[in-house]
């Protein structure tokens, strides 16, 4: 299975070169055998993630993840799943769980190479006792865009979490360049908050207000008409989940640098998010 997955993975990578297609799965969608393998791998990954989400420890986890091309290990009381060769053809990624977290919120940085500095910012958020899991991509978004494909390792985790946890927030971090924005509101914003829909919740409004007390923040679509995450596959999946909130946070280039370098800004940023997560 692993050897076959590696060959298929190499083939799929060539098809996806330069982002002509956005996922391994879509690249080979006309090949029934590969589709079946990917679908089977997705269900296996989802079942394994369900075990993690429900904090059910299994001595066989290491072998089970290895079969999919991932390495499972523990470090400092945290559970790690890290892509090795992605034999499962689900896009790789690194996933960490804190079994001692007080709540079950997720943090994701799906474009760490394109949206620079989102991974270290996500890890800072993971230090909150309210955050159960943090994850990021290990492949460039030109190869697989975790925000815009329906079949991926990150989506398998999201699916398992939605089915297992009755209430929680998924915080997804992204980055933007103000000079590339098409609206004045977009150009002057340091932070853009959205829910991926046109009617943000009271929590999203409260989060934006907290950010705005310190920085220039905007709420989609009330304050700004772009970067609303409306095409995000996870946002669409969660739109029908009344007890789960999708929190899409866009951070400007300069503000990402600021969060990394300035401890005070970083503390205030995390404090705003923690207030919403603690509701």
**Domain definitions of the chain by residue range:** 2-277
Taking residues 155-180, report their average pLDDT. Answer: 96
pLDDT given at position 205:
96
Looking at the predicted structure, is the pLDDT value of residue 18 above 80? no
pLDDT given at position 97:
97
pLDDT given at position 22:
44
Tell which residue, 203, 175, 172, has the closest CA to residue 191. Answer: 175
Mean pLDDT score of the chain, rounded to an integer?
Answer: 88
CA neighbours closer than 13 Å in the CB half-sphere of residue 50: 11
Predicted confidence (pLDDT) per residue in 36-82, tens digit: 788 899 999 999 999 999 988 777 889 999 999 999 999 999 999 99
pLDDT given at position 4:
45
Cα–Cα distance for residue pair 188/165, rounded to 1 Å: 37
Looking at the predicted structure, is the pLDDT value of residue 19 above 50? no
pLDDT given at position 5:
45
**Inter-residue contact 63 to 118 (CB < 8 Å):** no
Instruction: State the CATH architecture for 2-277.
Output: 3-Layer(aba) Sandwich (3.40)
- Name the pTM for this structure: 0.89
Looking at the predicted structure, is the pLDDT value of residue 270 above 60? yes
**Inter-residue contact 23 to 149 (CB < 8 Å):** yes
């Amino acid at each position: 299975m692993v050897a076959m997955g590696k060959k298929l993975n190499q083939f799929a990578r060539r098809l996806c070169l330069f982002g002509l297609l956005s996922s391994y799965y879509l690249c080979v969608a006309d090949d029934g055998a590969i589709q079946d393998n990917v679908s089977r791998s997705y269900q296996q990954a989802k079942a394994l993630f369900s075990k993690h989400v429900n904090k059910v420890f299994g001595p066989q986890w290491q072998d089970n993840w290895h079969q999919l091309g991932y390495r499972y290990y523990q470090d400092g009381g945290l559970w790690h799943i890290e892509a090795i060769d992605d034999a499962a053809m689900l896009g790789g990624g690194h996933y960490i769980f804190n079994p001692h977290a007080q709540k079950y919120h997720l943090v994701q940085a799906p474009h760490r190479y394109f949206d620079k500095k989102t991974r270290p910012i996500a890890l800072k958020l993971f230090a909150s006792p309210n955050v159960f899991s943090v994850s990021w991509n290990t492949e460039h978004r030109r190869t697989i865009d975790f925000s815009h494909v329906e079949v991926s390792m990150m989506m398998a985790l999201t699916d398992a979490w939605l089915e297992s946890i009755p209430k929680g927030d998924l915080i997804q971090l992204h980055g933007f360049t103000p000079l590339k924005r098409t609206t004045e509101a977009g150009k002057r914003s340091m932070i853009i908050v959205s829910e991926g829909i046109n009617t943000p919740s009271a929590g999203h409004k409260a989060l934006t207000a907290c950010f705005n007390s310190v920085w220039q923040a905007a709420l989609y679509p009330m304050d700004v008409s772009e970067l609303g995450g409306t095409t995000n596959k996870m946002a669409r999946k969660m739109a029908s989940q009344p007890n789960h909130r999708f929190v899409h946070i866009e951070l400007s280039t300069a503000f990402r640098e600021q969060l990394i370098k300035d401890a005070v800004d970083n503390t205030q940023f995390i404090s705003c998010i923690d207030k919403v997560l603690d509701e």
